[in-house]
């Protein structure tokens, strides 16, 4: 089965063709356009700008996902060829319906509905957050060394950690179609906290990669920020307190040196990673899971990956910790199509709508 996946929840416009063969999912194409450059100038995402860019990118991105760049084709020829591929080779369409920015979501959802209605293709609505977990299940057919290990070796149940700019959640996956929400952030997400703290430190947007880069040159112990809710007896998170801790610690410093910024970034990253690791491994222990699967933009953080694996080896019977390939940590359509292959549940096109506040049932 081949599925066309569409992702437009925020500032990335993405389309992908994914195919399932012999229990493996292969990415035939994954094309993403981003309006990040616009938002970097203003220090954050402007919803109206993101939506306008989605409108500009959506059709070219879908066409490229279906037929490639088509450098030798006219625009009309591209449309005709992409339409033929969509009609004859694509079995279904999967689209992110939420959560996300309403203007951005509408672009992808309405485009997918048009394809479903006009070409009589099944339409699968996808929760963007669950899609991040399924970024771990893909194989790029063009990269022979990349293996879809989870499709062959993953045993349920497992703990899923979704950690991104907008969300931080822990889930217990009992099967592909049965997952239970265990806890999440009560305020800022981990990635959101990094972005805001980076702004305080005068670092460019997005802040997460900047903090990680600076932390590599930071010194341990120069600053110590408390990990919020580190010792709470639940699986919830809170990161807004770091926005108070950091300015308070630095209030008597007129101008931070480059090394001081590095040291602060080290301490900020440590405070966030420590609580993510402790809660995730704690959830695995409580629910007798030997496997942890992580997804979302912050899952690209190498310190998080290293510390999670170290803690899993120390406290769990096994240390199976999975992360997506770096290129699939951020928002992409390959993960949306992959989720749909494992959770094939099409809905009538006129019953599918954008749900910006979608969470977990």
- Count the residues in the chain: 361
pTM of the model: 0.94
Same domain, 212 and 311: yes
- pLDDT attached to residue 153: 56
CB 256 within 8 A of CB 249: no
Q: In terms of domains, do 19 and 132 share one?
A: yes
Identify the pLDDT of residue 139: 65
Distance CA 157, CA 288 (A): 8
The residue with greater pLDDT, 149 or 28, is 28
Query: Alpha carbon 297 to chain centroid distance?
Result: 5
Mean pLDDT of all residues in 345-358: 98
Number of domains forming the structure of the chain: 2
**Residue 347 carries which DSSP code?**
B
109 shares its domain with 208: no
Neighbours of 222 (CB within 10 A): 13
Residue 210 has pLDDT above 60, yes or no: yes
Closest by Cα among 41, 18, 40, 165 to 101: 165
**Range of the structural domain that residue 167 is part of:** 154-324
pLDDT at 236: 98
356, part of any domain = no
Which residue would you say has higher pLDDT here, 280 or 156?
280
Q: Has residue 222 been placed in a domain?
A: yes
Share of the chain above pLDDT 70, in %: 94
* Residue 180 and residue 299 share a domain: yes
Residue 66 is encoded by which pair of tokens?
Answer: 């279906």
pLDDT surpassing 90 at residue 25: no
């Amino acid at each position: 089965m081949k599925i066309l996946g569409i992702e437009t929840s925020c500032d990335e416009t993405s389309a992908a063709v994914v195919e399932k063969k012999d229990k493996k999912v292969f990415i035939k194409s994954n094309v993403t356009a981003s309006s990040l450059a616009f938002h970097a100038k203003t220090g954050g995402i402007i919803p109206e700008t993101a939506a306008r860019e989605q409108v500009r990118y959506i059709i070219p991105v879908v066409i490229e996902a279906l037929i490639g760049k088509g450098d030798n084709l006219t625009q009309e020829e591209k449309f005709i060829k992409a339409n033929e591929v969509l009609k004859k080779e694509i079995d279904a369409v999967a689209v992110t319906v939420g959560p996300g920015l309403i203007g951005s979501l509408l672009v992808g959802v309405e485009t997918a509905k048009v394809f479903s209605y006009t070409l009589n293709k099944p339409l699968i609505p996808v929760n963007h957050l669950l899609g991040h977990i399924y970024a771990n299940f893909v194989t790029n057919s063009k990269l022979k060394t990349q293996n879809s290990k989870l499709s062959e070796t993953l045993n349920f149940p497992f703990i899923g950690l979704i950690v991104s700019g907008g969300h931080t959640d822990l889930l217990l996956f009992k099967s592909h179609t049965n997952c239970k929400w265990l806890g999440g952030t009560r305020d800022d997400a981990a990635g959101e906290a990094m972005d805001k703290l980076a702004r305080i430190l005068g670092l460019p947007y997005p802040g997460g990669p900047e903090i990680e880069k600076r932390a590599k040159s930071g010194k341990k112990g120069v600053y110590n920020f408390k990990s919020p809710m580190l010792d709470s007896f639940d699986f919830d998170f809170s990161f807004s307190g770091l926005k108070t801790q950091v300015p308070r610690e630095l209030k008597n410093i007129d101008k931070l040196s480059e090394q001081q910024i590095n040291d602060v970034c080290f301490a900020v990253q440590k405070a966030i990673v420590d609580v993510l690791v402790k809660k995730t491994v704690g959830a695995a222990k409580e629910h007798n899971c030997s496997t942890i699967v992580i997804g979302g933009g912050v899952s690209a953080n190498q310190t998080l990956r290293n510390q999670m694996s170290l803690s899993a080896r120390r406290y769990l019977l096994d240390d199976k910790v999975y992360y997506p390939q770096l290129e699939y940590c951020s928002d992409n359509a390959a993960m949306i199509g992959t989720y749909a292959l494992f959770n094939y549940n099409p809905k009538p096109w006129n019953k599918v709508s954008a749900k910006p506040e979608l969470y977990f049932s």
